[in-house]
Amino acid sequence: MEEEIEYSTVVFRDVRAAPKERKEDPTIYSEVKPSGSASTVPNGEAAACSHSHLLAVCLGILCFLLVASISAIVYLSVLMTKQKSNLSVLTAENEQLITERNLRERETEQLSRVTDNLNWTLSIILRLDTFRVHDYCPDKECQPCLKDWIQFKEKCYLFYNKKSPWMTARESHTHCRNKAADLVVIDSLHEQEFISNHTKHYYDRFHGYWLGLNKMNNKDWGWIDGRNDTLGYWIGESFEDVGQCALMIPGRNVTASWDPADCGMKNKFICESDVLVKV
């Protein structure tokens, strides 16, 4: 708003006696201004100046915030890059540790198998009264089975196929025992098939190979290791059931090839023993 100029009239009077002839006192005008600066800025220019100042402050604040934001973004970007780099290093180290752990586990398993195999071999050797090194380990390298024996899984088999002499069940058992073995005990169909494939027909249909299977208490059949027979691969036709010992008749159906026979009858036979060395 514009400043208003106020005018006032000041009259000075002489207190002395007025002369006879009065004269009109002169009127003195003086300008009274409100206190303030002598020079003032128009209101429009002051408002523009105030707005410019406010705008400059706002721009300064915005610039500060922008710089702070950019600095924070750069810092976070550098931090994330460093973390990614550290993560990559840690991932690589972790993969290396996993690989080394797997390698150690395989080595441990291998050492465990070697230890088990050595313990197995030692247990076989301790069963023998004498260990024939040259027979079991020719050229200083031990074999799973002796010469002329056939390996099937963890067993060795000797198929006695000499033309003579044939032996009774008792003689066959003794012969096998002298070789640190025993008459064969059949545990599964696979073993039955293996044995059947390695026996040949000879002489007549009543002769075969002695098994480690005998009649116990004149009733049940059991193996020489004390277990009862659960397979029952007996011949279906009516062979003369007069024996207490069992033969495998070659050329018969795999699951129907056992026949009761007189234990004094002379036949071929099959010996069985554990392998010396597990492969």
130 vs 274, residue with greater confidence: 274
pLDDT of residue 19: 47
Tell me the backbone φ, ψ of residue 234, rounded to 5 degrees. -85, 150
The answer, yes or no, to whether residue 13 has pLDDT greater than 90, is no
| pLDDT tens for each residue of 124-160 | 888 877 777 888 888 888 889 888 999 999 999 999 9
Using DSSP bridges, classify how beta strands 155-160 and 150-152 pair: parallel, antiparallel or unpaired: antiparallel
In this structure, whether the domain defined by 149-274 belongs to CATH 3.10.100.10 is answered with yes
Task: List the Cα angle 184/190/192 in 5-degree steps.
Answer: 40
Residue ranges covered by each domain of the chain: 149-274
pLDDT of residue 25: 54
With beta carbons less than 8 A apart as the criterion, state whether 228 and 222 touch: yes
pLDDT of residue 113: 86
Maximum Cα interatomic distance, the chain, rounded to a whole number of Å? 196
Residue 139, phi-psi category: left (phi > 0), alpha (psi -120 to 50), beta (remainder): left
Task: List the Cα angle 111/114/119 in 5-degree steps.
Answer: 125
